[in-house]
Structure 1
Protein backbone atom coordinates (compact mmCIF):
# COMPACT_ATOMS: atom_id res chain seq x y z
CA UNK A 1 0.00 0.00 0.00
CA UNK A 2 1.41 3.37 -1.04
CA UNK A 3 0.42 6.93 -0.20
CA UNK A 4 1.26 10.47 -1.21
CA UNK A 5 0.60 13.71 0.63
CA UNK A 6 -0.49 16.60 -1.60
CA UNK A 7 -0.88 19.96 0.22
CA UNK A 8 -3.70 21.79 -1.55
CA UNK A 9 -6.06 24.72 -1.29
CA UNK A 10 -5.73 28.09 0.45
CA UNK A 11 -4.72 26.57 3.81
CA UNK A 12 -2.39 23.92 2.43
CA UNK A 13 -4.71 21.15 3.60
CA UNK A 14 -3.24 17.71 3.05
CA UNK A 15 -4.99 15.68 0.40
CA UNK A 16 -3.87 12.06 0.42
CA UNK A 17 -3.87 9.59 -2.45
CA UNK A 18 -3.57 5.95 -1.37
CA UNK A 19 -3.17 3.13 -3.88
CA UNK A 20 -2.58 -0.62 -4.10
CA UNK A 21 -0.59 -2.90 -6.40
CA UNK A 22 -3.38 -2.81 -8.98
CA UNK A 23 -3.09 1.01 -9.09
CA UNK A 24 -6.60 1.44 -7.71
CA UNK A 25 -6.61 4.53 -5.53
CA UNK A 26 -8.67 6.40 -2.96
CA UNK A 27 -8.59 10.18 -2.61
CA UNK A 28 -8.87 11.72 0.86
CA UNK A 29 -9.85 15.34 1.57
CA UNK A 30 -9.38 17.07 -1.80
CA UNK A 31 -9.22 20.60 -0.41
CA UNK A 32 -8.31 22.47 -3.59
CA UNK A 33 -5.79 22.66 -6.44
CA UNK A 34 -7.58 19.93 -8.33
CA UNK A 35 -5.17 20.21 -11.28
CA UNK A 36 -2.26 19.17 -9.05
CA UNK A 37 -4.21 16.20 -7.72
CA UNK A 38 -5.29 15.13 -11.19
CA UNK A 39 -1.77 15.53 -12.58
CA UNK A 40 -0.40 13.21 -9.89
CA UNK A 41 -3.06 10.61 -10.63
CA UNK A 42 -2.36 10.76 -14.36
CA UNK A 43 1.42 10.62 -13.96
CA UNK A 44 1.16 7.48 -11.85
CA UNK A 45 -1.54 5.80 -13.97
CA UNK A 46 -3.88 5.47 -11.01
CA UNK A 47 -7.53 4.48 -11.13
CA UNK A 48 -9.60 6.51 -8.62
CA UNK A 49 -12.36 4.53 -6.93
CA UNK A 50 -13.77 6.84 -4.25
CA UNK A 51 -13.35 10.08 -2.32
CA UNK A 52 -13.32 9.75 1.45
CA UNK A 53 -13.63 12.76 3.75
CA UNK A 54 -12.24 12.85 7.26
CA UNK A 55 -14.74 15.67 7.82
CA UNK A 56 -16.53 18.35 5.83
CA UNK A 57 -14.84 21.64 6.70
CA UNK A 58 -14.38 23.91 3.69
CA UNK A 59 -10.62 23.47 3.44
CA UNK A 60 -11.06 19.71 3.01
CA UNK A 61 -13.72 19.83 0.27
CA UNK A 62 -12.68 22.67 -2.04
CA UNK A 63 -11.91 20.36 -4.97
CA UNK A 64 -14.52 17.73 -4.18
CA UNK A 65 -16.86 18.51 -7.05
CA UNK A 66 -14.13 18.76 -9.67
CA UNK A 67 -12.54 15.48 -8.62
CA UNK A 68 -15.86 13.69 -8.27
CA UNK A 69 -17.04 14.85 -11.69
CA UNK A 70 -13.76 14.13 -13.47
CA UNK A 71 -13.56 10.50 -12.36
CA UNK A 72 -17.26 9.82 -11.81
CA UNK A 73 -16.60 8.31 -8.41
CA UNK A 74 -18.64 8.38 -5.17
CA UNK A 75 -17.87 10.66 -2.25
CA UNK A 76 -18.31 9.50 1.36
CA UNK A 77 -18.70 11.55 4.54
CA UNK A 78 -19.91 10.69 8.03
CA UNK A 79 -23.68 10.85 8.35
CA UNK A 80 -23.40 13.46 11.14
CA UNK A 81 -22.06 15.90 8.56
CA UNK A 82 -24.46 14.99 5.77
CA UNK A 83 -25.69 18.59 5.46
CA UNK A 84 -22.29 20.22 5.72
CA UNK A 85 -21.38 19.78 2.06
CA UNK A 86 -24.42 21.82 1.06
CA UNK A 87 -24.28 24.51 3.75
CA UNK A 88 -21.52 27.19 3.79
CA UNK A 89 -22.39 28.05 7.40
CA UNK A 90 -21.78 24.47 8.54
CA UNK A 91 -18.68 23.80 6.44
CA UNK A 92 -17.26 27.17 7.50
CA UNK A 93 -16.66 28.68 4.07
CA UNK A 94 -19.17 31.43 4.83
CA UNK A 95 -16.98 32.83 7.59
CA UNK A 96 -13.41 32.65 6.28
CA UNK A 97 -13.65 34.87 3.17
CA UNK A 98 -12.02 32.32 0.88
CA UNK A 99 -15.03 31.69 -1.31
CA UNK A 100 -18.35 30.10 -0.45
CA UNK A 101 -18.41 26.35 -1.02
CA UNK A 102 -21.57 24.38 -1.77
CA UNK A 103 -21.26 20.78 -2.91
CA UNK A 104 -23.77 18.20 -4.01
CA UNK A 105 -24.80 15.71 -1.32
CA UNK A 106 -22.45 12.85 -0.59
CA UNK A 107 -23.11 9.72 -2.60
CA UNK A 108 -23.06 7.59 0.53
CA UNK A 109 -22.45 7.98 4.23
CA UNK A 110 -20.16 6.54 6.85
CA UNK A 111 -22.45 5.23 9.57
CA UNK A 112 -20.26 2.99 11.71
CA UNK A 113 -16.74 1.97 12.56
CA UNK A 114 -14.99 -1.11 11.31
CA UNK A 115 -13.35 -2.65 8.29
CA UNK A 116 -14.65 -1.59 4.90
CA UNK A 117 -13.56 -2.13 1.31
CA UNK A 118 -13.55 0.63 -1.29
CA UNK A 119 -12.58 -0.36 -4.82
CA UNK A 120 -10.50 -3.30 -3.67
CA UNK A 121 -8.76 -1.34 -0.90
CA UNK A 122 -9.52 -2.37 2.68
CA UNK A 123 -9.26 0.06 5.57
CA UNK A 124 -10.63 0.48 9.07
CA UNK A 125 -12.88 3.41 9.87
CA UNK A 126 -12.38 5.00 13.30
CA UNK A 127 -14.84 7.57 14.60
CA UNK A 128 -12.73 10.40 16.07
CA UNK A 129 -15.12 13.30 16.77
CA UNK A 130 -14.16 16.44 18.63
CA UNK A 131 -12.75 18.70 15.96
CA UNK A 132 -16.14 18.27 14.33
CA UNK A 133 -19.08 15.96 15.12
CA UNK A 134 -18.48 13.59 12.21
CA UNK A 135 -14.70 13.48 12.13
CA UNK A 136 -13.31 10.07 11.24
CA UNK A 137 -9.85 8.58 10.78
CA UNK A 138 -8.90 5.90 8.29
CA UNK A 139 -6.46 3.21 9.44
CA UNK A 140 -4.52 1.05 6.99
CA UNK A 141 -3.16 -1.85 9.00
CA UNK A 142 -1.35 -3.31 5.98
CA UNK A 143 0.41 -0.03 5.27
CA UNK A 144 1.01 0.90 8.90
CA UNK A 145 -0.52 4.38 8.68
CA UNK A 146 -3.63 6.29 9.69
CA UNK A 147 -5.17 9.33 8.02
CA UNK A 148 -6.26 11.36 11.05
CA UNK A 149 -7.77 14.45 9.45
CA UNK A 150 -7.72 17.36 11.89
CA UNK A 151 -7.80 15.23 15.04
CA UNK A 152 -4.07 14.72 15.64
CA UNK A 153 -1.08 16.65 14.30
CA UNK A 154 2.66 16.65 14.78
CA UNK A 155 2.93 18.18 18.24
CA UNK A 156 -0.64 19.42 18.30
CA UNK A 157 -4.33 18.55 18.08
CA UNK A 158 -7.31 19.91 16.16
CA UNK A 159 -9.01 23.15 17.11
CA UNK A 160 -12.36 22.83 18.83
CA UNK A 161 -13.67 26.40 18.67
CA UNK A 162 -15.64 25.86 15.47
CA UNK A 163 -19.33 24.82 15.42
CA UNK A 164 -19.72 21.32 16.84
CA UNK A 165 -16.23 21.24 18.31
CA UNK A 166 -15.70 19.59 21.70
CA UNK A 167 -12.26 19.56 23.35
CA UNK A 168 -12.98 16.80 25.87
CA UNK A 169 -14.46 14.63 23.16
CA UNK A 170 -11.43 15.19 20.93
CA UNK A 171 -8.99 14.19 23.67
CA UNK A 172 -11.04 11.06 24.32
CA UNK A 173 -11.11 10.23 20.60
CA UNK A 174 -7.35 10.58 20.33
CA UNK A 175 -6.74 8.51 23.45
CA UNK A 176 -9.24 5.74 22.71
CA UNK A 177 -8.95 5.42 18.93
CA UNK A 178 -5.54 6.72 17.83
CA UNK A 179 -3.11 6.20 20.70
CA UNK A 180 -4.34 2.60 20.91
CA UNK A 181 -2.89 1.88 17.45
CA UNK A 182 0.57 0.27 17.16
CA UNK A 183 3.20 2.73 18.33
CA UNK A 184 5.04 2.75 15.00
CA UNK A 185 1.89 3.71 13.07
CA UNK A 186 2.52 6.71 10.81
CA UNK A 187 0.02 9.51 11.38
CA UNK A 188 -0.98 11.38 8.22
CA UNK A 189 -2.54 14.61 9.45
CA UNK A 190 -4.82 17.12 7.79
CA UNK A 191 -2.14 19.81 7.97
CA UNK A 192 1.62 19.67 8.26
CA UNK A 193 4.04 16.78 8.14
CA UNK A 194 3.49 13.21 9.20
CA UNK A 195 4.33 11.91 12.66
CA UNK A 196 3.98 8.61 14.55
CA UNK A 197 1.84 7.43 17.41
CA UNK A 198 4.85 6.96 19.71
CA UNK A 199 6.13 10.44 18.85
CA UNK A 200 2.83 12.00 19.93
CA UNK A 201 2.50 9.81 23.01
CA UNK A 202 5.93 10.95 24.19
CA UNK A 203 6.08 14.57 23.06
CA UNK A 204 2.66 16.05 22.26
CA UNK A 205 2.06 18.73 24.94
CA UNK A 206 -1.72 18.44 24.54
CA UNK A 207 -1.68 14.75 25.47
CA UNK A 208 0.14 14.87 28.78
CA UNK A 209 -0.81 11.96 30.97
CA UNK A 210 -1.54 9.61 28.09
Structure 2
Protein backbone atom coordinates (compact mmCIF):
# COMPACT_ATOMS: atom_id res chain seq x y z
CA UNK A 1 0.00 0.00 0.00
CA UNK A 2 1.14 3.53 -0.56
CA UNK A 3 -0.20 7.00 0.13
CA UNK A 4 0.42 10.11 -1.99
CA UNK A 5 0.77 13.25 0.16
CA UNK A 6 1.40 16.63 -1.55
CA UNK A 7 3.65 18.77 0.67
CA UNK A 8 5.45 22.09 0.74
CA UNK A 9 5.28 25.28 -1.34
CA UNK A 10 5.21 23.46 -4.68
CA UNK A 11 2.88 20.68 -3.48
CA UNK A 12 5.53 18.07 -4.17
CA UNK A 13 4.26 14.53 -3.84
CA UNK A 14 5.68 12.62 -0.92
CA UNK A 15 4.84 8.93 -0.87
CA UNK A 16 4.55 6.61 2.09
CA UNK A 17 4.84 2.92 1.25
CA UNK A 18 3.75 0.64 4.10
CA UNK A 19 2.71 -2.90 4.93
CA UNK A 20 0.28 -4.61 7.32
CA UNK A 21 2.94 -4.62 10.03
CA UNK A 22 2.96 -0.80 9.87
CA UNK A 23 6.53 -0.67 8.56
CA UNK A 24 7.02 2.19 6.14
CA UNK A 25 9.40 3.83 3.70
CA UNK A 26 9.02 7.53 2.91
CA UNK A 27 9.87 9.03 -0.47
CA UNK A 28 10.70 12.73 -0.89
CA UNK A 29 9.24 14.45 2.19
CA UNK A 30 9.12 17.88 0.61
CA UNK A 31 7.82 20.08 3.43
CA UNK A 32 5.21 20.50 6.14
CA UNK A 33 7.21 18.28 8.47
CA UNK A 34 4.94 18.55 11.54
CA UNK A 35 1.84 17.66 9.50
CA UNK A 36 3.55 14.66 7.90
CA UNK A 37 4.86 13.44 11.25
CA UNK A 38 1.40 13.83 12.77
CA UNK A 39 -0.15 11.75 9.98
CA UNK A 40 2.48 9.03 10.33
CA UNK A 41 1.87 8.81 14.05
CA UNK A 42 -1.90 8.78 13.62
CA UNK A 43 -1.48 5.80 11.29
CA UNK A 44 0.91 4.21 13.82
CA UNK A 45 3.49 3.75 11.08
CA UNK A 46 7.14 2.97 11.74
CA UNK A 47 9.33 4.63 9.09
CA UNK A 48 12.41 2.54 8.29
CA UNK A 49 14.04 4.95 5.84
CA UNK A 50 13.69 8.10 3.76
CA UNK A 51 14.48 7.54 0.09
CA UNK A 52 15.17 10.61 -2.01
CA UNK A 53 14.69 10.50 -5.75
CA UNK A 54 16.87 13.62 -5.94
CA UNK A 55 17.84 16.61 -3.81
CA UNK A 56 15.96 19.59 -5.20
CA UNK A 57 14.66 21.77 -2.40
CA UNK A 58 10.99 20.99 -2.90
CA UNK A 59 11.70 17.29 -2.24
CA UNK A 60 13.77 17.67 0.94
CA UNK A 61 12.05 20.28 3.12
CA UNK A 62 10.91 17.82 5.81
CA UNK A 63 13.87 15.44 5.68
CA UNK A 64 15.41 16.47 8.98
CA UNK A 65 12.07 16.70 10.79
CA UNK A 66 11.13 13.15 9.81
CA UNK A 67 14.61 11.74 10.30
CA UNK A 68 14.83 13.20 13.80
CA UNK A 69 11.30 12.15 14.76
CA UNK A 70 11.73 8.51 13.78
CA UNK A 71 15.52 8.05 13.82
CA UNK A 72 15.55 6.63 10.29
CA UNK A 73 18.36 6.93 7.71
CA UNK A 74 18.22 9.07 4.57
CA UNK A 75 19.36 7.64 1.22
CA UNK A 76 20.41 9.61 -1.86
CA UNK A 77 22.61 9.06 -4.92
CA UNK A 78 26.24 9.93 -4.34
CA UNK A 79 26.23 12.45 -7.22
CA UNK A 80 24.03 14.70 -5.06
CA UNK A 81 25.75 13.99 -1.75
CA UNK A 82 26.46 17.68 -1.08
CA UNK A 83 23.20 19.10 -2.43
CA UNK A 84 21.19 18.78 0.77
CA UNK A 85 23.31 21.36 2.57
CA UNK A 86 23.80 23.67 -0.42
CA UNK A 87 20.94 26.04 -1.39
CA UNK A 88 22.58 26.85 -4.72
CA UNK A 89 22.77 23.22 -5.77
CA UNK A 90 19.34 22.24 -4.42
CA UNK A 91 17.79 25.29 -6.07
CA UNK A 92 16.25 27.03 -3.08
CA UNK A 93 18.65 29.96 -3.48
CA UNK A 94 16.82 30.86 -6.70
CA UNK A 95 13.29 30.51 -5.34
CA UNK A 96 11.48 33.23 -3.35
CA UNK A 97 11.55 32.47 0.36
CA UNK A 98 14.00 30.92 2.76
CA UNK A 99 16.92 28.74 1.75
CA UNK A 100 16.16 25.06 2.27
CA UNK A 101 18.82 22.78 3.70
CA UNK A 102 19.08 19.40 5.37
CA UNK A 103 21.88 17.51 7.04
CA UNK A 104 23.87 15.11 4.91
CA UNK A 105 22.32 11.80 3.91
CA UNK A 106 23.20 8.77 6.00
CA UNK A 107 23.67 6.42 3.06
CA UNK A 108 24.89 7.22 -0.45
CA UNK A 109 23.77 5.14 -3.40
CA UNK A 110 26.04 4.33 -6.33
CA UNK A 111 25.17 1.96 -9.10
CA UNK A 112 23.37 -0.65 -7.03
CA UNK A 113 20.66 -2.55 -8.87
CA UNK A 114 18.77 -3.58 -5.72
CA UNK A 115 18.05 -2.03 -2.34
CA UNK A 116 16.64 -3.86 0.67
CA UNK A 117 14.94 -1.79 3.39
CA UNK A 118 13.55 -4.15 6.02
CA UNK A 119 10.89 -6.24 4.22
CA UNK A 120 10.87 -3.95 1.16
CA UNK A 121 13.05 -4.74 -1.86
CA UNK A 122 13.44 -2.09 -4.56
CA UNK A 123 14.96 -2.23 -8.01
CA UNK A 124 16.98 0.94 -8.50
CA UNK A 125 16.67 2.59 -11.87
CA UNK A 126 19.20 5.39 -12.32
CA UNK A 127 17.38 8.15 -14.23
CA UNK A 128 19.60 11.26 -14.55
CA UNK A 129 18.67 14.20 -16.73
CA UNK A 130 16.43 16.24 -14.45
CA UNK A 131 19.36 16.18 -12.03
CA UNK A 132 22.65 14.25 -12.05
CA UNK A 133 21.70 11.80 -9.32
CA UNK A 134 18.03 11.24 -10.05
CA UNK A 135 17.04 7.72 -9.05
CA UNK A 136 13.72 5.94 -9.54
CA UNK A 137 12.64 3.13 -7.22
CA UNK A 138 10.66 0.24 -8.70
CA UNK A 139 8.67 -1.84 -6.22
CA UNK A 140 7.43 -4.99 -7.93
CA UNK A 141 4.91 -6.20 -5.29
CA UNK A 142 2.82 -3.04 -5.80
CA UNK A 143 3.75 -2.64 -9.48
CA UNK A 144 4.80 0.96 -8.87
CA UNK A 145 7.83 3.09 -9.71
CA UNK A 146 8.56 6.18 -7.63
CA UNK A 147 10.00 8.34 -10.40
CA UNK A 148 10.58 11.70 -8.74
CA UNK A 149 10.70 14.42 -11.38
CA UNK A 150 11.88 12.24 -14.27
CA UNK A 151 8.46 11.35 -15.68
CA UNK A 152 5.01 12.88 -15.16
CA UNK A 153 1.54 12.36 -16.54
CA UNK A 154 1.99 13.65 -20.11
CA UNK A 155 5.17 15.45 -19.09
CA UNK A 156 8.83 15.07 -18.22
CA UNK A 157 11.12 16.83 -15.77
CA UNK A 158 12.60 20.22 -16.53
CA UNK A 159 16.24 20.20 -17.57
CA UNK A 160 17.21 23.87 -17.25
CA UNK A 161 18.46 23.53 -13.66
CA UNK A 162 22.10 22.83 -12.63
CA UNK A 163 23.15 19.43 -13.93
CA UNK A 164 20.08 19.01 -16.14
CA UNK A 165 20.37 17.43 -19.59
CA UNK A 166 17.35 16.98 -21.87
CA UNK A 167 18.80 14.24 -24.07
CA UNK A 168 20.04 12.34 -21.03
CA UNK A 169 16.60 12.54 -19.42
CA UNK A 170 14.88 11.13 -22.51
CA UNK A 171 17.44 8.31 -22.62
CA UNK A 172 16.80 7.60 -18.93
CA UNK A 173 13.05 7.46 -19.43
CA UNK A 174 13.26 5.18 -22.45
CA UNK A 175 15.95 2.86 -21.07
CA UNK A 176 14.99 2.74 -17.39
CA UNK A 177 11.30 3.59 -17.02
CA UNK A 178 9.57 2.53 -20.21
CA UNK A 179 11.18 -0.89 -19.76
CA UNK A 180 8.97 -1.44 -16.70
CA UNK A 181 5.78 -3.45 -17.33
CA UNK A 182 3.14 -1.27 -18.99
CA UNK A 183 0.75 -1.67 -16.04
CA UNK A 184 3.33 -0.16 -13.66
CA UNK A 185 1.97 2.85 -11.78
CA UNK A 186 4.18 5.93 -12.11
CA UNK A 187 4.23 7.77 -8.78
CA UNK A 188 5.60 11.14 -9.90
CA UNK A 189 6.97 14.03 -7.90
CA UNK A 190 4.14 16.32 -9.01
CA UNK A 191 0.62 15.78 -10.27
CA UNK A 192 -1.51 12.69 -10.68
CA UNK A 193 -0.57 9.05 -10.80
CA UNK A 194 -0.24 7.54 -14.26
CA UNK A 195 1.04 4.29 -15.79
CA UNK A 196 3.94 3.36 -18.02
CA UNK A 197 1.51 2.21 -20.72
CA UNK A 198 -0.42 5.47 -20.65
CA UNK A 199 2.76 7.50 -21.02
CA UNK A 200 4.04 5.32 -23.85
CA UNK A 201 0.77 6.01 -25.66
CA UNK A 202 0.03 9.60 -24.77
CA UNK A 203 3.10 11.50 -23.54
CA UNK A 204 3.97 13.99 -26.31
CA UNK A 205 7.56 14.40 -25.06
CA UNK A 206 8.32 10.73 -25.67
CA UNK A 207 7.14 10.44 -29.27
CA UNK A 208 9.74 10.48 -32.00
CA UNK A 209 12.67 9.80 -29.66
CA UNK A 210 14.81 6.85 -30.84
CA UNK A 211 14.05 3.80 -28.75
- In structure 2, what is the equivalent of residue 206 of structure 1? 205
- In structure 1, what is the equivalent of residue 129 of structure 2? 130
**Mean Cα deviation higher: 88-97 or 111-120:** 111-120
- In structure 1, what is the equivalent of residue 25 of structure 2? 26
Task: Kindly state the Cα deviation for residue 42 of structure 1 after the two structures are TM-superposed.
Answer: 1.5
- In structure 2, what is the equivalent of residue 143 of structure 1? 142
- In structure 2, what is the equivalent of residue 40 of structure 1? 39
Q: State the distance in 1 between where 2:120 and 2:63 align.
A: 20
How many aligned residue pairs are there? 209
- Following TM superposition, where does structure 1 have runs of at least 4 consecutive aligned residues deviating by more than 4 angstroms? none
Task: Kindly state the Cα deviation for residue 11 of structure 1 after the two structures are TM-superposed.
Answer: 0.1
- Answering whether residue 92 of structure 2 is matched by residue 93 of structure 1, we say yes
Q: State the distance in 1 between where 2:35 and 2:143 align.
A: 26
**Mean Cα deviation higher: 192-201 or 93-102:** 93-102
Please give the TM-score of this superposition, normalised by the length of structure 2: 0.97
Q: State the distance in 2 between where 1:145 and 1:55 align.
A: 18
CA contact (8 A) 2:34 2:65 kept: no
Q: State the distance in 1 between where 2:169 and 2:131 align.
A: 9
CA contact (8 A) 1:20 1:121 kept: no
- In structure 1, what is the equivalent of residue 5 of structure 2? 6
User: Runs of 5+ in structure 2 lacking a partner?
Assistant: none
Q: CA RMSD in A?
A: 0.9
CA contact (8 A) 1:17 1:27 kept: yes
CA contact (8 A) 1:133 1:165 kept: yes
- In structure 1, what is the equivalent of residue 77 of structure 2? 78
